[in-house]
Amino acid sequence: MLYTIALVLLVLWLVGVIGAYTVGGLIHVLLVIAIVVVLLRVISGRKPL
């Protein structure tokens, strides 16, 4: 039981370390896309949200 918990925590830690670089970049790209879409809607005269 203790080995299973340790293994799960180790795997989650590795996913966090590896994913911190890739997911962080993805979040920034999604934020930029969302801002561009809102700006385009405002410029075209529609409601932004």
Number of domains in the chain: 1
DSSP state string for 9-25? HHHHHHHHHHHHHHHHH
38: helix, coil or strand? helix
Residue 15, in any domain of the structure:
no
- Which structural domain, as residue segments, surrounds residue 38? 21-49
Nearest to 6 by CA among 40, 45, 14: 14
pTM over 0.75: no
What digits encode the pLDDT tens for the residues 13-36?
Answer: 877 777 777 777 777 787 888 888
For residues 37 and 47, what is the distance between their CA atoms, to the nearest angstrom?
11
Q: What's the confidence (pLDDT) of residue 48?
A: 64
